[in-house]
Amino acid sequence: MTPCPFCPPLLASPVAEHSTCLAIRDGFPVAPGHTLIVPRRHVASFFALDANEQADLLALLNQVVAELDEEFAPDGYNVGLNEGTAAGQTVMHVHLHVIPRRAGDAADPRGGVRWVLPRKADYWTKG
């Protein structure tokens, strides 16, 4: 069995930490500063985290965004969670993606995360 990349020993150094979660740069970033927020406890589903862990994850999200704003000054963010294999989760340890975005980094960014289902994403030109 392959070891979990988000459990100790970590392959990446944390860029921010909280008692129940930490933030690391994505090993395969889609944009400069792409960061993952990961609970310290190994659990596959966000919904299996207790309320304190969920709150801490979101508090660390605010801290990470403030630090990314300072370091990269992006124009926007995509924040995403792949929950279950049907939704694209490949590492069965909860992790929240924080992806800094720049104006012009995509030809037409409208719809954002809706593009995981391309046939449904372009809702503004239909109807």
b/e 18-42 (16+ beta carbons within 10 angstroms → b): bebbbbbebeeeebebbbbbbbbee
CA dihedral (21, 23, 24, 30) positive or negative: positive
CA-closest candidate to residue 24, choices 40, 46, 47 = 40
Which residue among 18, 34, 95, 97 is the active-site one? 95
CA-closest candidate to residue 35, choices 123, 98, 119, 126 = 98
Examine the residue annotation and report whether 95 is marked as an active-site residue of this protein: yes
The Cα 51–Cα 102 span in angstroms is 33
The residues assigned a catalytic role are 95
